[in-house]
Chain A
Amino acid sequence: MFLGKVIGTVWSTVKWPQVQGLKLLLVRPYHLADLAAKSGDADGDPALGFACDVAGEKACAAEAVVCADLLDAGVGDDVIVAFGHAARVAVAAASGQSAAKPPTKPIDAAVVAIVDSIAVARPST
């Protein structure tokens, strides 16, 4: 799982019938450096820097992941995203499918939690 921020929505009309009705979100993963900035330390830690300052804004945008949304998250929300089988299990459970049946939806990332708060302690020298 990873922690990220919802930065957009994705629409698709031509898709497999199993994913009909699934809302898709674009989520950008956080790095530790991003959380340092988010915690109110506007100048950040010079030792850590900011992810987008170092890697470049385009590099950060390229990391964005398309996720199925189970919890009606919106743009700007901080969310937790599960990958792989865990994502399919979450979608199956949300759609009321029995746990005994193997999940069948062709997805590999899903929003499984909307974050209320984050506590981070940054390592320092």
Chain B
Amino acid sequence: MKRGLVVGEVWATRMAPGLESRPLKLVVEYPGSGAAFELKELGLAPLVVAVDTLDARRGQEVLVAYGSGARNVLRPGPDNRHELCDAAVAMLVEDSVAKVLKQGPEREPGQALAQFPANSPGSHGQAGSSLAKRGA
């Protein structure tokens, strides 16, 4: 699984059978170790479309499972080989957990944090506030 940030949603009407009615979220993977990075790096980081069964909001930090892990998110068990899914939101990262994860050597106390605009649609007040930014 990889850590990422939900940055948006995608809607489509023409879909392959098996993908209909799945909520699809745009998740940007944290670059490198994810401990600390510049905002510019986020703009060039891999952008993943993940099936979301946990109702993650924009700005929410999540763990994305890939491959068979993603199929197990949608349908746990051995009978999921026909599921059309290669990436799924497996967990929502709690803010407290995120803070622990981000206490890397590059993180400095009191450094500025990147945030989603408070009035952006779908954003949750503090969501994304724990996004670390180096050198701010």
Given A32-B7, A113-B12, A121-B8, decide whether A89 and B84 contact each other with a Cβ distance below 8 A. yes
Q: Contact at B9–A119, with CB atoms within 8 Å?
A: yes
**A2 contact from B8, B47, B116, B123, Cβ within 8 A:** B47
Question: Residue of B at shortest CB range from A73?
Answer: B14
B121 touches A119 (CB 8 A): yes
**Range of interface residues on A (Cβ < 8 Å):** 35 or more
- Which one of B38-46, B91-99, B102-110 contacts A? B38-46
Chain B residues lying within 8 Å of A31, measured Cβ to Cβ, are 43-47
Question: Is B76 interfacial (CB-CB < 8 Å)?
Answer: no
Name B7-64 residues within 8 Å CB distance of A: 7-19, 24, 26, 28, 39-40, 42-50, 58-59
B65 contacts the other chain (CB 8 A): no
Most B CB atoms within 10 A — which of A48, A82, A113? Answer: A113
- The answer on a CB contact under 8 Å between A84 and B16 is no
Cross-interface CB contact of A116 among B12, B17, B40, B112, cutoff 8 Å: B12
CB neighbours of A113 from chain B (8 A) = 10, 12, 14-16, 19, 24
**Nearest-CB distance from B55 to chain A (Å)?**
15
For A35-73 the 0/1 string (1 means CB < 8 A from B) is: 110000000010111110011000000000000001100
- Known A54-B44, A83-B86: A1·B49 in contact at CB below 8 Å: yes
Chain B residue nearest to A93 in the complex (CB): B17
Kindly list chain A residues whose C-beta atoms are within 8 Å of the C-beta of B7: 32, 120-123
Q: B111-136 vs A: 1/0 string, CB under 8 Å? A: 01011110011110000100101001
**A116–B28 contact, CB under 8 A?**
no
Task: Evaluate contact between A121 and B43: CB separation under 8 angstroms.
Answer: no
Report A-chain residues with C-beta under 8 Å of the C-beta of B123.
121
Chain A residues closer than 8 Å to B45, beta-carbon distance: 31-32
**6 nearest A-B pairs in the assembled complex, by CB-CB distance:** A33-B43, A48-B43, A120-B8, A86-B86, A113-B12, A99-B82
A-B contact pairs, 18 of them (CB 8 A): A2-B47, A32-B42, A48-B43, A54-B40, A54-B44, A86-B85, A86-B86, A89-B18, A93-B17, A102-B81, A113-B24, A116-B11, A116-B12, A118-B10, A121-B120, A123-B5, A124-B115, A125-B112
